Amino acid sequence: MTYSVKELFLTLQGEGANTGRRAVFCRFAGCNLWSGLEKDRATAQCTFCDTDFIGTDGPGGGKFKTAQDLATAALQCWRSNKLGKPLIVCTGGEPLLQIDAALIDALHAAGFEIAIETNGTIKVPQGIDWVCVSPKGQSDVIVTTGDELKLVYPQKNVDPKRFNDWDFTHFFIQPLDDENQLHHVQEAIQYCLDHPQWRLSLQTHKMIGIA
């Protein structure tokens, strides 16, 4: 298959359990919860996305005709096989609309540990090394086990207690980034103080000015 990638670049993971870790980010184009168009935001299942995932015109982006082509491009972003275990973070949009067995095999063959950030509405294929699920609104989340659950907070009619019994190693509350962000940060801090199962996740990449 052809893989449509919005952008592919080297950075530091900015949030969650792997914050600060060197990683290649592969942002796939497309999502099943929002078209990415502002005219559709109000009626989308996810109304607060802060990411441009339309098209393939971002840095390093493009249409990759084979899994090997994409794995090779990702490895070129990493730049050196002497700099620890390569990590690729597959995000979007919704990466599981495109990730398949061929790509998983190609990335592993290139030496990558594969992490995904998914909305949890699509089954995770075998071979993914790190699964982060970020539930959105009232969408039908079917992925209830993984490495980290990262809940943007607050979300209308979404109570974190809904996820307390799910099978994740880490549970993160991440303040919603909108015009009331400072208030949401305080809300998130208080929630974590009151519910120690949950830890605070901040978008550190935005704080330090990296992608």
Measured CA to CA, the distance from residue 164 to residue 203 in angstroms comes to 23
Q: State how far the Cα of 120 lies from the Cα of 158, in Å rounded to an integer.
A: 15
Per annotation, catalytic residue among 15, 26, 28, 46: 46
Please confirm, yes or no, whether 183 is among the known catalytic residues. Answer: no
56 is catalytic: no
Asked about 148 being catalytic, the answer comes back as: no
Is residue 192 annotated as part of the catalytic site, yes or no? no
Sheet holding 62-64, edge to edge: 62-64, 3-12, 22-28, 87-91, 113-118, 130-133, 145-153, 167-175, 199-200
Catalytic residue among 108, 170, 195, 205: 205
Tokens describing residue 87: 């990590």
Question: Which residue is catalytic, options 15, 26, 28, 49?
Answer: 49
Which residue among 7, 15, 26, 31 is the active-site one? 31
Count of other CB atoms within 10 angstroms of residue 144? 14
- The answer to whether residue 168 is catalytic is no
The Cα diameter of the chain in Å comes to: 49
Question: Is 77 designated active site?
Answer: no
Cα separation, 15 vs 21, whole angstroms? 10
CB 56 within 8 A of CB 6: yes
Cβ 88 vs Cβ 23: under 8 Å: yes
Q: Which residues are catalytic?
A: 25, 31, 46, 49-51, 117, 205
